[in-house]
Structure formats: structure tokens, C-alpha cells
Amino acid sequence: MDEARESCLNQLADGLSEHGWMTFDASSFLGPRLLQALAAEMMLLESTDAMKKAGVGRGSDHVQDRSIRRDRIAWLQGITSPQAALFENFERIREGLNQRLFLGLKRFECHYATYRPGDFYRKHLDSFRGRASRVVSLVLYLNEDWQPKDGGELRIFNRDSDHEMCGLVLPEAGRMAVFLSEEIPHEVLPANRTRFSLACWFRQDEVPLPL
């Protein structure tokens, strides 16, 4: 593995163990062609109405609550060539985190998400504490030239006092936000322009259990 990748994985592991979250520019890690191919795939899904309204809650409690989240999602299967290339990178991240932090991450799942103008996702955790289902969340943004006026930032809260903000991430293409799923409260602020992203969760369970 090349040195740049090693150093990226080291930074990621340090950020997670020290603060529980971190953000970094993954465009050199992934390469501009892969980012463009993923964005093109997503725009195609969005324009053909293949993205479905997302829900909240686990198992049979799963509901579509438009007051909590308004994004549309499509799960990735890893079959198209950009998805296969992305999955290889995520696999390296999974192994890299296991080697450095002994997290025992067994697999990952990912979906594309679009937030149309006005869409948001209120403050939440990605996993319920102690479930060891989703352990690490990773969000990759796919928007060229995102400006502060476009809104749609990911707002990160302090894990010990969740009304205290500790980060604001602009969803610019190639940027990644990574955080501990059970610990870091976060929200997506209303977007003023359609916002494209890809969320991935690294999980400790082998068999798919509800969140």
C-alpha cells in the first residue's frame, strides 16, 4: 500500500480515537475519475426517479417521517464498475481501521442520498448504543463547487453535550466525514440546491440486524 494511503488511514484512526469524528479530503485517495463516475451514476438515479424516500427507525418501527428526514436514497450493490472501485477502497478502510483500532468491523453497507432544495435530516445518531451494528459512519460528498450559500452542511455535535456544536462540514466533492455511529450526534441542514452524497456504515455484525 502506498504511503499516502497509509498516512490517510493513520489520520482517520487518530481522528476517530481522539475526537470520535474527523473530516478530510479523499479526492487524491479516490481520484477525480471515480468521483465523477459516482456523481454521474447518482444524477442518473435521481433523474429517473430511482431514489426512494428514506425512513427512520428500526425493524417494524421503520416509518417515513418527513419531519425528521427528507432525503431520498438508493442502496449500492457494488456491481457497476465505479461502485466496485469504491467498494475496494472501503474494504481497505475497513481493514485499516481494524488493524489500527481493533474495531472488528465485518462488513459495510452504503447508499446514495439526495437532498432536494429544502430537504434536511434532523439531529440523530446512526446507531443505538450497545447494539454494535453500525459502528463507523462515513459520508462522501459528490457536489462540485458547493458554496456556503447552498446550505446543506453536516453539523456535528459534541458527544458529551449534544447541544454544543463542534463542526460544520460543507458537502464539497471528494470530502469525507467519518464518525462513530453510536456516539456522534449530527444533522444535515436544509439544502438550497440538490445535494448529492454517499453514506457508508461499517458494521460489527455479520448477519444483518436492525439498527
Ligand X SMILES: O=C(O)CCC(=O)C(=O)O
Question: What does the binding site for ligand X look like in residue numbers (CB under 6 A)?
Answer: 113, 121, 126, 139, 154, 186, 188, 197, 199
Query: Closer to ligand X at the Cβ: 100 or 189?
Result: 189
In angstroms, what is the minimal distance from the CB of 156 to Fe ion? Answer: 10
Compute the Cα dihedral for 81, 85, 88, 94 and give only its sign: negative
Task: DSSP for 78-126, please give it.
Answer: S-SHHHHHHHHHHHHHHHHHHHHH-----EEEEEEEEE-TT--EEEE-S
Query: Closer to ligand X at the Cβ: 126 or 182?
Result: 126
The entry of ligand X, Fe ion, none that residue 197 binds, CB within 5 to 8 Å by partner kind: ligand X
Secondary structure of 148-204 as H, E, C letters = HHHECCEEEECCCCCCCEEEEECCECCEEEEEECCCCCEEECCECCCEEEEEEEEEC
In angstroms, what is the minimal distance from the CB of 5 to Fe ion? Answer: 26
In angstroms, what is the minimal distance from the CB of 198 to ligand X? Answer: 9
In angstroms, what is the minimal distance from the CB of 197 to Fe ion? Answer: 10
Count of residues near Fe ion by CB under 5 A: 1
150 contributes a contact to Fe ion by CB under 5 A: no
Between CA 140 and CA 172 the distance in angstroms is 9
In angstroms, what is the minimal distance from the CB of 60 to ligand X? Answer: 20
Exposed, middle or buried by CB within 10 Å (0-12, 13-18, 19+), for 58?
Answer: middle
The entry of ligand X, Fe ion, none that residue 139 binds, CB within 5 to 8 Å by partner kind: ligand X
Q: Does residue 166 contact residue 142 with C-beta atoms inside 8 Å? A: no
The site string for Fe ion over 104-143 (x = CB under 5 A, - otherwise) reads: ----------------------x-----------------
Q: Which residues bind Fe ion (CB under 5 A)?
A: 126
